[in-house]
Structure 1
Amino acid sequence: MGSKNIGIKKDVYERLKAHKRGDESFSETLDRLIHERESDWRTNAGFLSQHEADDLEAAVEQGFVDLNVAFDEDGTRIDERLSEEP
């Protein structure tokens, strides 16, 4: 079977490399990743309405806010415990 050379950005190369298994070649990795998908990625493009996409984006952003608050609270408690005298 013949081969083709393609140019990809360095960050894409690094992401692809991270998906390689053992001695798997890049061709084998790409083939596996493509076949693991149940359908063509373009089939699902646009499956959310704009309203649903906006709601999802807002929920994700709120999740990050909540996570930051939780980390700040945990950090404060840890600082308080560490500053207590034995």
Structure 2
Amino acid sequence: MGTTSLTITDEAYERLKAYKTKEESFTDAILRLTGSDRDVMKGFGAMADVEGFREAVEETRDELDTDLRERDLR
């Protein structure tokens, strides 16, 4: 199997790095993320181990809940 070099932006690199597990190479991550099975449920939980992700989601949800409650009172 041959290899090919790709040029990607720093943003794209950081996003891919966030999806990559510690045990896999970037090639393995790309193959996993672009698998041919197209299982829509496959991505759920992919960000679970990303530092700060859970807190960011919870904060956003709290903000949305507060906003919706305020709208109901008006």
TM-score, normalisation: structure 2: 0.50
| Structure with max Cα Rg | 1
TM-score, normalisation: structure 1: 0.44
Q: Indicate the structure whose relative CO is greater, using CA pairs within 8 Å and at least 6 residues apart.
A: 2
